[in-house]
């Protein structure tokens, strides 16, 4: 089984990325041939600062390794190092109906947020389809927000297969938690582009400050607190044991405790959850040359997996 996923270097990895994608990706490396990449070409649709792009790319690699990605079992690489992806993206774009892309929520959301409507932003899902199809991927672990992009990938693959015969494998999304996206400090989906993130490896004081700053309603201390839509509970659910979670939920419903108390419990749980990974992170952070070497090695191994697929595709469409 071939497993593939990507993450954009538009900022530093946060709890939403971890529980939405990185955790399953790391677990899956035990069950098949895993390929994980840093989607720097996708990030170019929004990041205009070259230093930030370089910095975030390496930091994401370090965080992924710290969280348990094994660079021997899995390939970890930069998307832009696999040069055939851009070629494949163009080829796929020639069969992609405009209407399919016009329907994409993430494009519409980005426009609504005031992003410039570039061709790259519009065709973002086609590049993503190229990422997935170039490796004959079977399974793609992603957060729920990427589900539609996986559907677009499958539609494009079906279109090519209808036109040219069986060229591409149809990938399946693997969505760990269908119920909800992990909320950010403002209660909306945690996202690097919303400025509401809890980064995985923040120092203690800034992490505490962000958690204490989570937006809450003005229910008085003595009154029961609403559990529906609570960002505190939405995050706590992932980092606490089931019994600690049940206890906090009961305390919400009982009243008599303030949000400050719940936030302190949330901070302690987040801090403890990531403690072992924080330790292992130091080893990689102290050796950036080794991280760069691992990324290059990952790219060489990943490229070799695209060769048979690209040859099959070029033959089928008449380029070979």
146 binds ligand TRP, rule: CB under 6 A: yes
**Quick one: what does residue 211 bind among ligand ADP, ligand TRP, none, with the CB cut-off 5 to 8 Å set by partner type?**
none
Rounded least distance, CB 23 to ligand TRP, Å: 14
Beta strand 139-142 with 74-78 is: unpaired
Q: Which stretch binds ligand ADP (CB under 6 A): 29-37, 94-102, 187-195, 240-248?
A: 187-195
Q: Which stretch binds ligand TRP (CB under 6 A): 23-31, 125-133, 259-267, 279-287?
A: 125-133
Alpha helices in the chain, H assignment, sequence order: 15-17, 23-28, 40-43, 50-66, 84-93, 98-102, 105-112, 119-122, 124-133, 147-164, 204-212, 231-239, 242-254, 259-273, 275-285, 288-317
**Computed over its alpha carbons, how large is the radius of gyration of the chain?**
21
Rounded least distance, CB 15 to ligand ADP, Å: 8
Catalytic residues: 110, 189, 192
306 binds ligand TRP, rule: CB under 6 A: no
Which of 44, 160, 182, 294 forms a contact with ligand ADP (CB under 6 A)? 182
Indicate the DSSP class of residue 199. Answer: B
10 binds ligand ADP, rule: CB under 6 A: yes
Q: Within positions 145 to 174, which residues make up the interface with ligand ADP, using CB under 6 A?
A: 145-146
Count of C-beta atoms within a 10 Å radius of residue 88: 23
Q: Which stretch binds ligand ADP (CB under 6 A): 3-11, 79-87, 247-255, 274-282?
A: 3-11
142 binds ligand TRP, rule: CB under 6 A: yes
CA angle at 213 for the pair 199 and 251, rounded to the nearest 5°: 100
8 binds ligand ADP, rule: CB under 6 A: yes
CA 182 to chain centre: 12
Helices 288-317 and 147-164 meet at what angle, rounded to 10?
40
- Structural contact between residues 211 and 270, judged by C-beta atoms closer than 8 angstroms: yes
Which of 149/237 has CB closer to ligand TRP?
149
Residues at the contact surface with ligand ADP, assessed by CB under 6 A: 7-8, 10, 16-17, 20-21, 142-143, 145-146, 181-182, 189-193
């Amino acid at each position: 089984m071939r497993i593939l996923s990507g993450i954009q270097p538009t900022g530093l990895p946060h709890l939403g990325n971890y529980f939405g994608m990185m955790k399953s990706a790391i677990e899956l490396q035990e069950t098949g041939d895993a390929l994980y990449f840093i989607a720097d070409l996708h990030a170019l649709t929004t990041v205009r600062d070259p230093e930030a792009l370089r910095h975030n790319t390496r930091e994401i690699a370090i965080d992924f390794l710290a969280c348990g990605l094994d660079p021997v079992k899995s390939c970890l690489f930069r998307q832009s190092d696999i040069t055939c992806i851009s070629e494949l993206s163009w080829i796929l774009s020639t069969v992609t109906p405009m209407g399919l892309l016009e329907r994409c929520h993430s494009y519409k959301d980005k426009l609504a947020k005031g992003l410039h409507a570039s061709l790259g932003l519009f065709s973002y899902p086609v590049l993503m389809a190229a990422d997935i199809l170039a490796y004959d991927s079977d399974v793609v672990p992603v957060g729920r927000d990427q589900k539609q992009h996986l559907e677009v990938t499958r539609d494009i693959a079906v279109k090519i297969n209808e036109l040219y015969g069986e060229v591409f494998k149809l990938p399946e999304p693997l969505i760990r938690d269908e119920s909800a996206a992990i909320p950010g400090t403002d209660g909306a989906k945690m996202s690097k582009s919303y400025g509401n993130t809890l980064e995985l490896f923040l120092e203690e004081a800034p992490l505490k400050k962000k958690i204490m700053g989570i937006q809450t309603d003005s229910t008085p201390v003595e009154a029961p607190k609403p559990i529906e839509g609570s960002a505190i509970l939405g995050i706590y659910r992932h980092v606490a044991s089931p019994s600690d979670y049940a206890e906090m939920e009961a305390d919400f419903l009982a009243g008599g405790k303030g949000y400050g108390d719940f936030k302190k419990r949330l901070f302690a749980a987040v801090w403890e959850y990531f403690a072992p990974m924080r330790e292992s992170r130091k080893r990689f952070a102290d050796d950036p040359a080794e991280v760069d070497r691992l990324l290059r090695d990952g790219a060489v191994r990943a490229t070799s997996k695209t060769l048979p697929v690209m040859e099959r595709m070029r033959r089928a469409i008449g380029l070979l």
